Structure 1
Amino acid sequence: MDIKSHTDQALITLYLSGEDRAFEELLGRHQQKIYTSIYLFTKDHSQAEDIFQEVFIKIIDTLRKGKYNHEGKFLQWAMRISYNMCVDSFRRNKRRPIVGQTETFDIFDVLQSPERNAEDEMIRSQTHDKVRHLVDSLPPEQREVVILRHYADMSFKEIAKLTRVSINTALGRMRYALINMRKMVDEKQIALR
């Protein structure tokens, strides 16, 4: 049986019927996106790993109890769980998420780019550092939308649902984030290339 060709919903059904490889495939499909979004919120490798594990424990428990009913929208459901766990973690630790650089994991390391030379790589790295710093400087609601949109690759509809705001509010936050980032670039005369 070729498990890779199954939909998420079919993999869930197979897993519930005792096929553990189905869950491994489901995890493999979505772990990078889920982990990356958690990491960008926590900015801490070990905390992101802990939350990631908690997310999949909760997913397994929910599936086994027969409480999953999200009509084939597994990734959005898993992202909501991870988002809520990040929020809970921040409440427990009383700290805010800040996107920044780290030595152990960088989302830009997993992005593919055809043949880069050393100069291009250095410019790219410096530009990404500057953009991360600009994102760090945004108000929390705006920073959250930028992370979810550009780093977790979520649609505005998914962001609105996840953050429990209207689509217009999510769009507005993105708009103001971009305006604020442009202002910072102009005020600080930051060269992004």
Structure 2
Amino acid sequence: MNATQVSDHELVTRAQQGSEKAYRELLGRYERPVFSIIYRMIRDREQAEDLAQETFVRVFNHIDRYDPKYKFSSWIFKIATNLTIDHIRRKELNTVSIDGSRNATTAEQIEATAITIISPDENPEELLEAKELGEEIEEAIGRLRPEYRAAILLRHVEGREYQEIAEIMALPLGTVKTYIHRGRNELRETLQHLKV
């Protein structure tokens, strides 16, 4: 059987039995998506790499605790988002500068994580406008509370269903819907202020 045809469940079972090959396959499948969600939440490549690595260390150390009634992707994203939310909270406590302002996101970080909304039919001017809108959206997402940020990214960037987001964030479904609703409202308000 080709490795790409093996289900996550089968790979997890093999990893739980001590197969390093199965664990490496899981790592290969989830390394990029895990890094992506962390990076979009904190917009710092070095920290995102560290948190992604820590996520996989925890997965490896606690693979025996994985509950197969949930998707493996939900479990791994839960670990990643919890680590990242904790990191954001610690950083927010420690990064207020002497003048009371917070460290700004660099242009390079915005460029690296910008959401672009493009169509192949757009001309260069439309492409530039779409790129700028993507950067504004990323900046607005970066201003959300960590929980809202995670919910919005999981729903609108990762394309996760509400129920899976509830599993990932260990929250009731209604709370997830509330976070996404409030997050969207805050994004709308922030984007309106950015355009002023």
TM-score, length basis structure 2: 0.75
The residue aligned with 1:83 is: 81
Whether the 8 Å contact between 2:15 and 2:22 is mirrored in structure 1 is: yes
The residue aligned with 1:10 is: 10
RMSD after superposition: 3.3
Q: Does 1:126 align with 2:124?
A: no
1:11-68 per-position Cα deviation (integer Å, ceiling 9, x unaligned): 12233445433222222222222111111222211111111111111111122xx333
1-structure distance, mates of 2:41, 2:90? 14
For the structure 1 residues 25 and 121, does the alpha-carbon distance in structure 2 shift closer, same or farther, using more than 3 Å as the test? Answer: farther
Deviates more, 1:153-162 or 1:44-53: 153-162
Question: For residues 71-150 of structure 1, what are the structure 2 equivalents within 5 Å?
Answer: 71=69, 73-93=71-91, 94=93, 102=109, 105-106=112-113, 108=115, 118-150=124-156
1-structure distance, mates of 2:188, 2:115? 22
2-structure distance, mates of 1:130, 1:76? 29
For the structure 1 residues 103 and 61, does the alpha-carbon distance in structure 2 shift closer, same or farther, using more than 3 Å as the test? Answer: same
2-structure distance, mates of 1:185, 1:68? 40
1-structure distance, mates of 2:37, 2:153? 7
1-structure distance, mates of 2:140, 2:49? 25
TM-score, length basis structure 1: 0.76
- Percent identity over paired residues: 25
2-structure distance, mates of 1:46, 1:168? 34
Gaps of 5+ in 2: 96-102
Whether the 8 Å contact between 1:9 and 1:72 is mirrored in structure 2 is: no
Q: Could you tell me how far 1:92 is from its partner in structure 2? A: 4.1
Whether the 8 Å contact between 1:36 and 1:151 is mirrored in structure 2 is: no
Deviates more, 1:73-82 or 1:34-43: 34-43
Which of 67, 70, 85 is residue 69 of structure 1 equivalent to?
Answer: 67
For the structure 1 residues 68 and 169, does the alpha-carbon distance in structure 2 shift closer, same or farther, using more than 3 Å as the test? Answer: closer
Equivalenced residue count is 186
Partner amino acid, structure 2, of 1:80: K
Deviates more, 1:181-190 or 1:80-89: 181-190
The residue aligned with 2:172 is: 166
Deviates more, 1:48-57 or 1:114-123: 114-123
1-structure distance, mates of 2:129, 2:46? 29
Partner amino acid, structure 2, of 1:106: T
Partner amino acid, structure 1, of 2:142: D
Gaps of 5+ in 1: none
For the structure 1 residues 53 and 137, does the alpha-carbon distance in structure 2 shift closer, same or farther, using more than 3 Å as the test? Answer: closer
For the structure 1 residues 154 and 184, does the alpha-carbon distance in structure 2 shift closer, same or farther, using more than 3 Å as the test? Answer: same
1:57-107 per-position Cα deviation (integer Å, ceiling 9, x unaligned): 1111122xx3333336111111111122123333444359x9x66168326
2-structure distance, mates of 1:104, 1:20? 36
Q: Which runs of 4+ in 1 moved over 6 A?
A: none
